[in-house]
Structure 1
Amino acid sequence: MPGASRKPANSTKKANTPGEVVLLSGGNPQIPKGYGDEPVQAYIAAMPGWKSDVGRRIDAVIERTLPGVRKAVKWNSPFYGAGDADHGWFLSLHCFTKYIKVAFFQGASLDPVPPGASKQKDVRYLDIHEGELDEAQFAAWVEQASKLPGEKM
């Protein structure tokens, strides 16, 4: 019909009320850049469906394994760092339609090496699908990764 408006096929969910989060492609929450626990918790709360529960579990494992972990949201993804800002970031996560992708920035140095390869030689990924989080293995990787030099971003 002439003059009728249509949503583009690749449109994102628009926020209807103040404080409502926009979900980007694949359901990744659009959270403003920020440092500390608050923006990370906002990201986790906005993760769609089962991913929010898994996001809380991931965050809890990281906090248990590394008390005092540094947190931030950058580029619509939570980042985790050990020590002071000079140490950099060791891990981030991102929502996709069917899984959560965890990036270990020095993952090639972990034992065992996380299964997902990257175009960057040191980075390794862990894709977590519904019901697949192995908390013990994840905690072991977090502990190892937190002791390695982090990425400065």
Structure 2
Amino acid sequence: MKKSAFAKSRTTDPTASQEIDAQLAALGGWRSETLSRIRALIHEADPEVVEEVKWRKPTNPAGMPCWSHGGLICTGETYKDKIKLTFPKGAQLEDKAGLFNSSLEGNARRAIDLFEGDTLNARSFKALIKAAVALNTKAKPAAKPKPKPKATASRSKAKKSPKKG
């Protein structure tokens, strides 16, 4: 088996990269070519991306290629007639180029469905990947410090000394 260029990445599990390589080789055709190109664009957009294979099930024992950095960026699902790239936090991403064309009704995820012959704008796609990484790695706002209790003005009453006299 040919060693994957992505297996050399220090942030990607070599086993996952090899599994994705094997999935792409078995897939063949336009879906393999398209998903391979998407994979390369993801790595160009974020050299620190982590490749994983998740969600193995009886209907898909090979699992699904996933890319993450500080959280899941997107998944690469393959179907007979399309490739679906699902961004779990896609609704929070600005999509100026209008790449999202699926799962638009929800309030969390968005997806890009690619069919044979479709082209994907590389610059816009990489911008979307970078935005997803930025969203995942954005510093969580620090908890506001609890306000200090207001000091009560406790005036001590001076004891009057008894008058002598």
The one-letter code of the counterpart of 2:83 is: I
For residues 69-88 of structure 1, the aligned pairs below 5 Å read 69-75=49-55, 76-82=63-69, 87-88=70-71
3-state SS of paired residue (2:136): coil
Q: Which amino acid aligns with 2:47?
A: P
Query: Identity across aligned pairs (percent)?
Result: 28
Question: Quick one: structure 1 residues 41 and 111, their matched pair in 2 at CA, closer, same or farther if it must change by over 3 Å?
Answer: same
**Number of residue pairs aligned between Structure 1 and Structure 2:** 114
User: Over residues 86-143 of structure 1, what are the superposed CA-to-partner deviations in whole Å (9 max), with x where a residue is unaligned?
Assistant: x221100111111100001111112216221256521001001122222222111111
Gaps of 5+ in 1: 1-18, 20-33
Distance in 2 (alpha carbons) for counterparts of 1:35 and 1:149: 24
Q: 1:126 to 1:89 in 2, by over 3 A?
A: same
Aligned partner of 1:110 among 62, 70, 93: 93
- Deviation per CA, 1:2-49: give whole Å up to 9, x if none: xxxxxxxxxxxxxxxxx9xxxxxxxxxxxxxx9532222222222242
- Alignment of 1:129 with 2:115, yes or no, is yes
Larger Rg: 2
C-alpha RMSD of the superposition? 2.3
Q: Which moved more, 1:47-56 or 1:36-45?
A: 36-45
Cα pair 1:36 1:70 within 8 Å, conserved: no
- Other-structure match for 2:133: 146
**Amino acid across the alignment from 2:85:** V
* Aligned residue identity for 1:38: Q
| CA-CA distance at 1:54 after TM superposition | 0.5
